């Protein structure tokens, strides 16, 4: 059987491709496991990953959780499946490097949920995004009801989840769900360009920014600002802070070490 997730490294940038194109990369247990295993490998890599791009093979990013596999699930099995998705998405969010979703086609249901667990989304002009679960008599089960509200606001998220409407990439960009809409042929190149830009920055700083900005969504502003102040101060104990500021003052480029 073909690998359901492909991984490529170019320096500090990793690219993960969900690779089940005959089923539009639908997420079954095997694909979820493989994504978790592959992503865990990136977290443990001896040469640290500093930014990642997540995309799909063929005409879809991910067209959802696998409907055929879900159709006969019991209540207990459905809970296990949902928990598995939640664990994977939490791992993406907790990673010490940003993950960019390069949405190359359909990002529906679990596909949009996967993209929402990434730091931000670039989409090809032909992409379609939505939470169509109500068409199947269920609701999003991998965090969609929650992350979509946080990303686009409660009112828009409610409308999308209740109607199952599919957005075009341009519509998704207009509501802030997608950062950039790109011609299909330049989507990956642009995502990689941004990933390389991030990978050249102070990795401890980028990781701290991600941690603070992710945590901030769940806590009151005062607590979030305190988290920021702590993280800001902690960075002054790093080699990267010293060499970053000294390089600026010496008018030379900083080459960060991640220490
Ligand atoms: N789960 C399982 N299989 C899926 C799937 C999913 N979420 N999405 C697509 N597939 C499969 C199709 O069953 C088909 O398999 P087959 O060739 O063995 O019959 C194959 O992928 C190609 O899909 P197809 O529907 O023929 O492509 P299309 O271009 O006509 O339509 C979509 C594309 C995305 C509009 C359509 O596949 C779709 O609506 N998928 C389900 C989306 C959804 O509801 N996702 C949320 C799940 S909770």
Q: In whole angstroms, give the CA distance from residue 6 to residue 38.
A: 8
- Which CATH number describes the domain made up of 203-249? 1.10.12.10
Q: Which ligand 1 atom lies nearest to the CA of residue 106?
A: 34
Q: In whole angstroms, give the CA distance from residue 8 to residue 11.
A: 10
For domain 5-199, which CATH number applies: 3.90.226.10, 3.40.309.10, 3.10.20.30, 3.40.50.1860? 3.90.226.10
Conformational region of residue 64, where left means phi above 0, alpha means psi within -120 to 50, and beta covers everything else = left
Q: Which ligand 1 atom lies nearest to the CA of residue 141?
A: 48
Residues 28-53, mean pLDDT to the nearest whole number: 97
Q: Is the pLDDT reported for residue 2 higher than 90?
A: no
Closest CA to 48 of 214, 240, 228: 240
Q: In whole angstroms, give the CA distance from residue 121 to residue 103.
A: 7
The answer to whether 72 is a known catalytic residue is no
**Strand extents, DSSP E, 11-81:** 13-18, 51-56, 60-62
Instruction: Report phi then psi at 57, rounded to 5.
Output: -85, 140
- Sequence ranges of the domains in the chain: 5-199, 203-249
CB-based pocket (< 6 A), ligand 1 = 23-24, 26, 63-68, 106, 108-110, 132-133, 135-136
Which of 23, 24, 130 to mutate to test ligand 1, by most ligand atoms within 8 A of the CB atom? Answer: 24
180 within 8 A of 127, measured Cβ to Cβ = no
Residues 46-55, mean pLDDT to the nearest whole number: 97
> Tell me, what's the pLDDT at 119?
98
Cα of 23 vs centre of ligand 1, distance in Å, is 6
7 within 8 A of 54, measured Cβ to Cβ = no
Closest CA to 40 of 90, 112, 104: 90
The answer to whether 133 is a known catalytic residue is yes
- pTM (2 d.p.): 0.97
Domains 5-199 and 203-249 belong to one CATH topology: no
pLDDT digits (tens, 9 = 90+) for 103-132: 999 999 999 999 999 999 999 999 999 999
**What is the residue with the minimal CA distance to atom 2 of ligand 1?**
66
Active-site residue, selected from the candidate residues 133, 171, 189, 226: 133
Work out the mean pLDDT of the chain and round it to a whole number: 97
Q: In whole angstroms, give the CA distance from residue 89 to residue 115.
A: 9
């Amino acid at each position: 059987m073909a690998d359901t997730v492909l991984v490529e490294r170019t320096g500090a940038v990793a690219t993960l491709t969900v690779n089940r194109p005959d089923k539009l990369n639908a997420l079954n247990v095997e694909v979820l496991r493989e994504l978790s295993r592959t992503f865990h490998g990136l977290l443990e890599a001896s040469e640290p990953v500093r930014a990642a791009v997540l995309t799909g093979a063929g005409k879809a990013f991910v067209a959802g959780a696998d409907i055929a596999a879900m159709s006969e699930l019991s209540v207990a099995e459905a809970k296990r499946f949902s928990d598995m998705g939640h664990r994977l998405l939490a791992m993406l969010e907790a990673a010490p490097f940003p993950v960019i979703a390069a949405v190359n086609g359909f990002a529906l249901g679990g596909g949009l949920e996967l993209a929402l667990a990434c730091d931000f989304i670039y989409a090809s002009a032909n992409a379609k995004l939505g939470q169509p679960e109500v068409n199947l008599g269920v609701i999003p089960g991998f965090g969609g009801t929650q992350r979509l509200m946080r990303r686009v606001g409660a009112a828009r998220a409610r409308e999308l989840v209740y109607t199952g409407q599919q957005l075009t990439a341009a519509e998704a960009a207009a509501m802030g769900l997608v950062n950039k809409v790109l011609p299909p042929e330049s989507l990956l190149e642009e995502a990689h360009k941004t990933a390389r830009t991030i990978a050249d920055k102070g990795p401890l700083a980028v990781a701290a920014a991600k941690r603070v900005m992710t945590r901030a969504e769940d806590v009151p502003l005062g607590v979030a600002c305190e988290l920021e102040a702590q993280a800001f101060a902690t960075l002054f104990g790093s080699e990267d802070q010293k060499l970053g500021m000294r390089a600026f003052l010496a008018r030379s480029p900083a080459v960060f070490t991640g220490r």
